[in-house]
Every structure is written in structure tokens, then in C-alpha cells.
Amino acid sequence: MELSTARFCCVLLSLFTGLASGLEITSTGQTSIEKASGQSVKLDCQFTLGPEDSGPLDIEWSLLSSDNQNEDKVVILYSGDRAYEDYYDPMKGRVHFNSADPKNGDASINLAGLKSSDSGTYQCKVKKAPGIRSRKMLLIVMVKPSKPRCYAEGPTEEGKDIVLKCIANEGTKPMQYSWEKTSDSKVLPASAVMDPMGGTINVRNASASASGTYRCVASNRVGTEECILYLNVSPPPNTPGIIAGAIIAVLLILIIIAIILFCCCRARNRKKYEKEICNEIREDVPPPKSRVSTARSFTVGSQRSSLGSMSPSNLHEYALKPQYDKIPSTEEYDRPPSHAPLPPPSAAKMAVPNLSRMGAIPVMIPAQNRDGSIV
């Protein structure tokens, strides 16, 4: 009997302790939320207070770290009847309390302009001594696919395997791709093999009927994007003709180079030959004779011949001719014969009889040209 009474007292004490705290979180909504980037979300956290909760009210929202080694990040805070909404810089200006006065039992927050970095586990902790309660929620921010890029890989020729690719650089996994033909029969080629996860479609042994317009759609749980590709399957090129044309072009280039080299060598040899002929002609030409030396030799020789033909009896007559006692100057020698001074006619007539009387012998002096040579 005493044991039963003691157990009853313990049960009453435990019930009284639970009622004494009074603080409870009453939100019963989903604890996992998926949203697309750019959207807004409300994280619900409603609570009630008991008459025994007399301490100051503190509300704290934290983004829990996935690594136990790192600290949790406080996102928003309410303490001392004041809200601190710009507490976390990455969410500055994007996070606010849902109620203007959280003391009324609404500790919920609104987060706008969601980013992929906002994903994580959030904890709402309400403290009012002596009660403390908390609630956790998982937020997954999904990014819809970015506009994919469509292109054909490899040569788009008949008889070849053509691979069509569709790739979206951004987007939350898992992501799926689907292909469809939007022109002609709107049916994919019979030999086409599609990979929904990789975003490729392989058209084996492609034919001209595979040409047309294709559309690829990339999708995940929060959105879709698409791209358009026009495929033109061309006939195979004329390989032998291309090779023959390339060979002919190379030969023509070689011939042109050979002609240019031949012309250059020929012009060079001709110039060298002309230079050698010019040098030979210059070596064969004798140096010009001096007029002064020729004139002097002629004058001395003529004087000697004249003196040799004279006898002692006519030497005084020769001495009377002053014009033959000196060597003519270069100016006198260069003067034309028509300008040479002539002896007076009376002197010439008187000289011949006088010489004859004195027994002089007439001597014929050979004619000379302008440069002193005997004609």
C-alpha cells in the first residue's frame, strides 16, 4: 500500500513539472520543403506560453552546419523585445519575422529570393525561462535548368554516326532530357538511340531523311528549358576528286616557283656577263698620249733636221728667224692652222734670193698635221 502511494505521488510530480514549464511549439506542418530558386518560403514556428513562463523571451533561427566541426550560423534573432533581422550577411534584407510582434506566439520567418546556397536544415529555438523548445525544418532550394545548348558532334554526312547533344550547365539534379523532331514526319529516325539522363541521341548510319529540326527539353522538379537544333545530313564528299585537285594545285605552285627561280638566275647571270665584258673593254684601251710631249719632240726633231741641212754660211740667216728658236706652247700648238701667224710676204720674198746668193741649198720640209705627225 505504501509503495502504490509513492508511485502515485511520482506521477503527480512529473505532471506538475510538465505543466509548470508551459512553453510549447504547436506547429505541426511539414518539416521538409522544396522550393525553386528566386521564390519565397515561410518557415512556420508557432508557440504557446504558460503562466509560469516569466523570463525574457528569446527567439533564435539558425542554419545548422552539415559538418559537426563547424559552428551553426544564426540567421535572425529576437531578444529584449527587439528583432535583429540583418544578423546574417548572406541573407541581409531577405529574411524577416512573419509577425510584427513575435511575443504573440508567432516565431515564423519569411525568406525571399531563394538561392541554392540557402539550402539546409533550419532550427527555431524559443526560450522563456524556465521553458525551452525547438523545431527543425529542412529547406531544399532547387534551381531550374538553364537554357541548354544543342549541337551535333562529328561529321553530319550520310552513312556516318551522328551524335546530337543537349547540355544545361545549371540546374538541380536529377535532370532529364527529351528529344523530339518537329519537322517533316515528326518522328525520330528508326536508328536513333536516346539517353534521357545524358541528354544525347545517337543516329546510326544517318541518311538524308534524318535532316530536319529537332527540339531538346531539359527538366527537373522545378522547371523546364528547351533548345532548337537544325540538322542537315549532306552526301559524302568526292574524296578522289579532292585529292586530284590538291595534287594539281601543288604541281602548279611548284611550276610557278621553278619559273620564278629560273628567271631570277638568268637575270643574275646576264648582269654578271655584262659586268665582265665592261671590265675587259676597259683593260684593252691604251692610255692617251700627252700633247705637250708630242709637240716638244716634234719641235726638237724639226729643229735638228733643219740645222743638219744648213751649212755654216747660212747659220746667220737661220738665226734671223726668231719664231723657230723656242718650243711652241700648248695654246699655240692647239691653235688651228688657219689662225697660225704667217711671215710677211716681203720678208719671204727677200729671204729666198738672199739665201741663194749665199750658197744655201733648198731643203724640202715635209708637211705635218695638227698633232705633229708627218703626212
Residue spans per domain, the chain: 24-142, 149-231
CA angle (187, 188, 193) in 5-degree steps: 155
Could you report the per-residue pLDDT of 333-343, keeping only the tens digit for each? 455 554 445 55
CATH class of 24-142: mainly beta
Q: What pLDDT sits at residue 295? A: 43
* Tens digits of residue pLDDT in 122-176: 999 999 988 899 999 999 999 999 999 999 998 899 989 999 999 999 999 889 9
Give 349-362 pLDDT, tens digit per residue: 445 555 555 555 66
Sign of CA dihedral 293, 295, 298, 304: negative
Pick the CATH number of 149-231 from 1.10.287.610, 2.60.40.1260, 2.60.40.10, 3.40.640.10: 2.60.40.10
CA distance 61 to 148: 38
Judge if 24-142 and 149-231 fold alike in CATH terms.
Answer: yes
3-class SS at 186? coil
Helices (H), the chain: 2-21, 239-284, 291-309, 315-319, 330-334, 345-357
